[in-house]
Chains A and B, each alone.
Chain A
């Protein structure tokens, strides 16, 4: 059973914020929310993760709702190089990391 639901695709204008949603209504109390992205056919790249608090790093921000049933990854100023498939993953241990179909983000000039 899929643990997360993401839109299949999204577009974003270059320089604008990209907001990628993820639903994880069955998340359990000890599961973290992780985001990875895959540019073309390269290896997936870690972006950010969180448990229940909002998180920010040099790449992105992660907003997790209070009930933890959904989250949003925010790329504050999207560039063409951010065009990729973005995966939202919920897991406890890294061996439980399962990738869904993800969201294909296209950043347009």
Chain B
């Protein structure tokens, strides 16, 4: 089944303790991205990747890191989490990121992160 898989689905952690949220897709998609969703602020893009070893900042990249060492995986790294990073996180993938291709995005089921 074609899907985007995020792990963990729920995570409670303490301030400053490094964590990684994993994202994997099995559709051989070139494009992957991360969003966070907060009440009243909607979905905001954190980082995106057009292909392996190509990443770029979205609208709210502060406090986050990403890497794209292989096509299927796009982990989101919080080196020193803070309470303002408490949020619902979504990973998404799409066949290509370039404008010449009409592309829909596939989203994972989300990771609910609480930083205390």
Q: Which residues of A approach B to under 8 Å, CB–CB?
A: 30, 32, 34, 36, 41-46, 49, 92-95, 97-102
Contacts and interface: CB of A to CB of B under 8 A. Distances in A.
A43 B99 contact: no
A98 to B, nearest CB: 7
Q: Is the interface of B mostly helix, strand, loop or mixed?
A: strand
A102 B95 CA distance: 25
Q: Interface range on chain B: under 10, 10 to 19, 20 to 34, or 35 or more?
A: 20 to 34
Interface string B67-103: 0000000000000000000001010101011110011
A42 B110 contact: yes
Given A30-B99, A49-B102, A99-B35, 19 more contacts: A41-B37, A41-B110, A43-B110, A44-B105, A44-B107, A46-B104, A46-B105, A94-B33, A94-B96, A94-B97, A94-B103, A94-B105, A95-B31, A95-B33, A95-B48, A97-B105, A98-B45, A99-B43, A99-B44
Contacts, number: 57
B33 A43 contact: no
B43 A93 contact: no
B111 to A, nearest CB: 10
B50 A49 contact: no
Interface string B1-27: 000100000000000000000000000
Contact of B94 (A42, A94, A100): A94
Q: Is the interface of A mostly helix, strand, loop or mixed?
A: loop
Interface of B: 4, 31, 33, 35, 37, 42-45, 48, 50, 56, 59, 88, 90, 92, 94, 96-99, 102-110, 112
A34 B43 CA distance: 15
Contacts of B106: 46
Nearest to A97: B105
Contacts of A93: 97-99
